[in-house]
Amino acid sequence: MIIVRVMGGLGNQLQQYALFRKFQSLGVETKLDLSWFSQKTQESAAAPRKFALADFDGLSLPTASGDEVRALLGRAYEEEAGLAEKIKRRLAPGKTSLFEETQMYHPQIFSWQNRYLVGYWACEAYYADILNSLREEIRFPESGGARNREVMDSMAAQPSVSIHVRRGDYLDAANAAMFGGICTEAYYDACVRYIKEKCPDAVFYVFSDDADYVRAHFAGPAFHIVDWNRGEDSFYDMQLMSCCKHNICANSTFSFWGARLNGNPDKIMLRPSIHKNTQTCVPEQMKKLWAGWTLVTPGGNVLL
């Protein structure tokens, strides 16, 4: 059995779900471990999150029991493992059923039948071949807001483009060191210019957790600030992004999935050339692993 650990926010959970579905498409028995969302784990988590996959309509979410996890690992993941066990896993990964993601893409995982997988699995190459079926099954519940429905109609009738600007927690010192300085003003200016070259009449819908900031930086009649889906309803911002014809993403899995769920066959998807400051962009590799995406550097260079 393959067990995929689910953790993090909505975008990360969707990536873990997509990997789970990829294994299922290969005929491998696969389940999800949801223990990260237990009250005990959330109380000690640096960034607590809710289990959001249950909010979609009708997703099948077969869950691994504690006994199934222990049968695969020999003991529970982090909660019970001592220091010696953790060192053993790092030094001799082939001696344990646990596998932890350490790089962008690990194609060897698809040769396995019995592993416990821990990671975020952001790379498009993991599940690019099943994205069409994922778009069919990942269905948002009906939004109670008339404003969302009105905007969806407008997006369908226009050459609409989503822009995602993530600030919020990315401004914290620790997160800024990891994620800051990537989606710069030069990045967004280059993305907007690129879209306008391809689509001169583009209408932009700007999504952010800092509405005041984006109002100041995206002014003019072509820009519309989407600022009403808050708290639990922020879920619907991803749906609205997916309704746009094209997508400009932040270094955020939330907007990656807004673009992935966009069913427009002619869509333009722009993303930053790196997701974290610890990464180095190798354009040839990135274009292979993120087929269909256009990469833009923090300095505003479009990597064609």
Torsion angle in degrees (nearest 10) through CA of 261, 264, 269, 275: 10
Residue type for 292, please? G
Residue 140 has pLDDT above 70, yes or no: yes
Other beta carbons less than 10 A from residue 60's beta carbon = 10
Residue 137 has pLDDT above 70, yes or no: yes
pLDDT tens, residue by residue, 178-187: 999 999 999 9
Which pLDDT value is given to residue 302? 98
By percentage, how much of the chain surpasses pLDDT 90?
83
Which pLDDT value is given to residue 84? 46
pLDDT band at 232 (very low <50, low <70, confident <90, very high): confident
* Residues in a beta bridge with 271: 295
Residue 143 has pLDDT above 90, yes or no: no
Range 288-292 contact pairs with CB under 8 angstroms and sequence separation of 24 or more: 288/125, 289/104, 289/105, 289/123, 289/124, 289/125, 290/123, 290/124, 290/125, 291/124, 291/125, 291/128, 292/124, 292/128
Which pLDDT value is given to residue 74? 78
pLDDT band at 3 (very low <50, low <70, confident <90, very high): very high
pLDDT band at 83 (very low <50, low <70, confident <90, very high): very low
Lowest mean pLDDT among 7-21, 88-102, 224-238, 285-299: 88-102
> Cα separation of 30 and 22, whole Å?
9
More confident residue, 7 or 74: 7
Residue 289 has pLDDT above 60, yes or no: yes
This prediction has a pTM of: 0.92
DSSP annotation of 11 reads: H
What does pLDDT average to over the chain? 92
Helix spans in the chain (H):
10-25, 39-44, 66-73, 83-91, 131-137, 146-157, 173-179, 185-198, 211-217, 235-243, 253-260, 283-289
Q: Average pLDDT in the 216-239 region?
A: 95
